[in-house]
């Protein structure tokens, strides 16, 4: 607050293709958390997110629990934040856009590739029946599992492993969400997607990436480009060229 007692709000504005210009604000430390969440939801709605179930999920999940202590004051800024192992917790706008793209109705079994902090899995848990999430980094996997368990997200199941291989013993999945950039749509994950199911993933390299939505129709994937994004790269077997 300044000398007059007015709350100071620091904002930056920018735009993503296909979405309105929006502001990312780091609210002052005196703001209540509920107010910060409400402000974030208003930003996302103004930016073009119209799925009310997704907006309610964003409002319900305490993002401050998934960011490092030094970044908690930025938990409700509409921006990506660094976490352990050189990874990031995704920007809320992108989390919302990816979740909305899956057109979830509530009864789905969803596979997430790249647990990271656990935030995206927590948001999905509010939208579906069950979330299965895989993380290749042992440190991140263990930390996310602890946070999700502590917060009571009982319908989220995590394990450590190479996400390219998916979770075949539990397939098929109604939807798959990938939180790291792959050079192509991972073949083994497409194979684990149910007929009529949707998969959303950032595809590209460290220079340019596009968020792509795929829907499985008659055993084949019909793809649609959604918007430009920038994610950390997906690691593991997906980097092995297809022969």
For residue range 151-182, list pLDDT tens digits in order: 999 999 999 999 999 999 999 999 999 999 99
**Is the per-residue pLDDT at 129 higher than 80?**
yes
pLDDT of residue 240: 83
192 C-beta neighbours (distance < 10 Å), count:
20
The bridge status of strand 156-160 relative to strand 130-135 is: parallel
Least confidently predicted of 86-90, 130-134, 150-154, 192-196: 86-90
Q: How confident is the prediction for the chain on average, in pLDDT?
A: 89
Round to whole Å and give the CA distance between 107 and 90. 25
Q: Which helix (H) or strand (E) holds 101?
A: helix 92-101
pLDDT of residue 152: 98
Taking the complete model, does pTM exceed 0.85, yes or no? yes
pLDDT of residue 64: 96
Q: Is 117 a catalytic residue?
A: no
* E strands present in the chain: 9-14, 22-27, 81-82, 88-89, 109-113, 130-135, 156-160, 173-178, 193-204, 209-217, 220-229
Round to whole Å and give the CA distance between 198 and 213. 7
Helix axes 52-60, 92-101, angle to 10 degrees: 140
Task: With H, G, I as helix, E, B as strand and everything else as coil, classify residue 211.
Answer: strand
For residue range 229-238, list pLDDT tens digits in order: 999 999 999 9
- Phi, psi for residue 195 in degrees, rounded to 5: -60, 130
For residue range 99-124, list pLDDT tens digits in order: 999 999 999 999 999 999 999 999 99
Return the CATH fold of 9-239: Rossmann fold (3.40.50)
Question: Which of 90, 99, 117, 125 is flagged as catalytic?
Answer: 90
Q: Residue count of the chain, please give it.
A: 243
Task: With H, G, I as helix, E, B as strand and everything else as coil, classify residue 56.
Answer: helix
pLDDT of residue 31: 54
- Give 5-48 as a DSSP string: SPPPEEEEEE--TTS--EEEEEE-TTS-HHHHHHHHHHHHHHTT
| Residue spans per domain, the chain | 9-239
Round to whole Å and give the CA distance between 210 and 131. 24
Round to whole Å and give the CA distance between 186 and 54. 26
């Amino acid at each position: 607050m300044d000398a007059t007692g007015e709350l100071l709000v620091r904002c930056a504005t920018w735009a993503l293709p296909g979405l309105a210009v929006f502001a990312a604000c780091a609210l002052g430390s005196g703001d209540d958390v509920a107010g910060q969440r409400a402000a974030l939801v208003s930003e996302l709605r103004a930016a073009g997110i119209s799925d009310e179930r997704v907006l309610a999920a964003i409002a319900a999940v305490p993002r401050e629990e998934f960011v490092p202590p030094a970044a908690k004051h930025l938990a409700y800024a509409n921006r990506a934040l660094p976490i352990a192992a050189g990874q990031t917790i995704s920007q809320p706008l992108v989390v919302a856009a990816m979740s909305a793209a899956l057109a979830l109705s509530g009864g789905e079994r969803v596979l997430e590739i790249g647990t990271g902090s656990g935030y995206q899995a927590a948001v999905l848990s509010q939208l579906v029946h069950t979330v299965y999430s895989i993380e290749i980094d042992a440190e991140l996997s263990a930390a996310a599992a602890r946070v999700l368990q502590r917060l009571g997200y009982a319908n989220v199941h995590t394990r450590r492993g190479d996400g390219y291989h998916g979770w075949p013993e539990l397939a098929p999945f109604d939807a798959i969400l990938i939180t790291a950039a792959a050079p192509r749509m991972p073949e083994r994950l497409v194979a684990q997607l149910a007929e009529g199911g949707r998969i959303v993933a950032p595809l590209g390299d460290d220079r340019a990436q596009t968020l792509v939505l795929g829907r499985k129709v008659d055993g084949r994937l019909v793809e649609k480009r959604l918007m430009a994004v920038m994610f950390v790269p997906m690691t593991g077997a997906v980097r092995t060229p297809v022969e």
